[in-house]
Amino acid sequence: MKTLDSHKDWVTCLYLPQEGNKVISASLDGSISIWHVLGWRCLNVLQGDQGPVKKILISQDSSKIFSLTQSPCIYIWDTASGKLSAKWEGHKEPISDIALSPDGQLLASSGRDQAIILWDIASSKETQSYFQKNAHFEKVLFS
Catalogue the long-range contacts made by 57-65 (C-beta closer than 8 Å, 24 or more residues apart). 57/15, 57/98, 57/99, 57/100, 57/107, 58/15, 58/17, 58/24, 59/100, 59/104, 59/121, 60/18, 60/100, 60/104, 61/104, 62/17, 62/19, 62/22, 64/121, 65/24, 65/32
pLDDT digits (tens, 9 = 90+) for 69-117: 989 999 999 988 999 999 999 999 999 999 999 999 999 999 999 999 9
pLDDT digits (tens, 9 = 90+) for 40-73: 889 999 987 788 999 999 998 889 999 999 899 9
